Amino acid sequence: MSIRGKTAVVGIGETPTDRLGSKPGEPRKSTAEYLAWAARLAMADAGLTKKDFDGQGLAAIYTTNHSQPFWPEEVAAILGITPGVSLAGGNGGASSVSLLGHAAAAIVAGLCDLVLVIAAAAPFSERGAHRGAPADTRDYEMPFGVMGPNCKISFVMSRYMHESGMTEDHFGKIAVTGRYHASLNPNAYLRKPISIEDYKKSRLISDPIRLFDCVMPANGGKAYIMTSAERARSMPKPPVYLLGWGECNNSSYGPRYRANPLITGIEQAGKRAFAMAGVTHDDIRCLNLYDDYIPIVMIQIEDLGFCGKNDKAFFEKTDFTFKGDLPIQTSGGMINCGQPSTTGGMLHVIETVRQIRGEGGDRQVPNIKFGISSGVGAVNYGKNFGCTAAAILGSEV
């Protein structure tokens, strides 16, 4: 049974992002406060109250600074609701897009009629215990000085530059476009426009990764609400239907020796999403792609089939702004809006919903009916991302 067009997003909520707590004496909020704030915003947007969610669905995304295994139950307690179906997002940055499909399946199966998908994190104000390091990190990275995602993505970027011939001008164009959209987004954290020269002058973090290639950690919360297509048509806001969805995890399995870190599951997830949706690439007017790093955006554009592999000419000639040939990162992306841990990926779902509703403000994409959101998570040693998901959303079925 297909889930195509049988559910819709009917409410979105996004708290401002901040970095409060990074300095002594600053006022700060907890993860629980961001959760409650995001839930209130999403419920108000949908014209619902928390009582409407008793006996319904709750999908909570694990965050990296909470190590306890009962997170969905704790979120229910924080929000004061009694769900009849609990889902957990454990795919890192891919979780928000993954849960679009999981929540839709629960609704189509008749297990519930509403699902609140929610995430929050406060890494600057809470110093929660992290889970134990994965085996890859423990055995292959820490002993040799590989310190976190910046180092690992620098390997990916180096390989990509070697194989594709991409230069700082190509990466800088994507960074400048994202910041331009952020300058038009009142919810963005970094809003000062930058030039390609600014990008080139930004300091190296882990060669060849520069500061303006990197996502910005932040505090914040986000949520969206899904319901059946039938119920959605009676809700206050225009429904945004889930038309296509795909997920692919551990796509580059096999030996780590000389593994290709440019292989991602986005290619497979995207093909499944397009096949389900029954739309073409030309129908898509907005791409909101997981963007913890600039090169990851470019690799996803290729893997989703919007251009060939290593197509420098495409990146040189295409206008990626909201009024151009292929609008991308129309919110400014996580790089400019902030990444509250695994919550950050929900930005791309929320922004696509906004654009399709016509709520993009000064950055509104004209004549948009369909958009795509992606999520990726888990940077593995000797590979690319372990978790990937893609979803096509639209204003009509």
| pLDDT tens, position by position, 227-267 | 999 999 999 999 999 999 999 998 776 666 667 778 889 99
> Coil, helix or strand for 223?
strand
In terms of Cβ atoms closer than 10 Å to its own Cβ (0-12, 13-18, 19+), residue 193 is exposed
pLDDT confidence of residue 371: 98
Residue range 136-184, pLDDT digits in tens: 677 777 787 777 789 889 989 999 999 999 999 999 999 999 999 999 9
pLDDT confidence of residue 382: 63
pLDDT confidence of residue 22: 81
**Is the predicted pLDDT of residue 36 greater than 80, yes or no?**
yes
Residue range 89-124, pLDDT digits in tens: 999 999 999 999 999 999 999 999 999 999 999 999
pLDDT confidence of residue 383: 67
DSSP assignment of 250-295 equals STT-S--TT--TT--THHHHHHHHHHHHT--GGGEEEEE---SBHH
Domains in the chain and their CATH numbers?
Answer: 7-131+218-239 (3.40.47.10), 147-217+242-394 (3.40.47.10)
Alpha-carbon torsion 352, 111, 55, 33, what sign?
negative
d(CA 46, CA 225): 8
375-393 mean pLDDT: 85
d(CA 127, CA 244): 38
Q: Return the structure tokens found at 196.
A: 């390609």
DSSP state of 104: H
Specify whether the CB–CB gap between 179 and 194 falls below 8 A.
yes
Phi, psi of 295 (to 5 degrees): -60, -25
Specify whether the CB–CB gap between 371 and 288 falls below 8 A.
yes
Lowest mean pLDDT, pick from 125-139, 351-365, 372-386: 125-139
Global confidence as pTM: 0.95
DSSP state of 328: B
d(CA 328, CA 320): 6
Asked if omega into 208 is within 30° of 0 (cis), the reply is yes
**Is the predicted pLDDT of residue 297 greater than 80, yes or no?**
yes
Percent of the chain with pLDDT over 90: 82
Specify whether the CB–CB gap between 298 and 263 falls below 8 A.
no
In one-letter notation, the amino acid at residue 342 is T
CA dihedral 323, 317, 150, 134 (to 10 degrees): 80
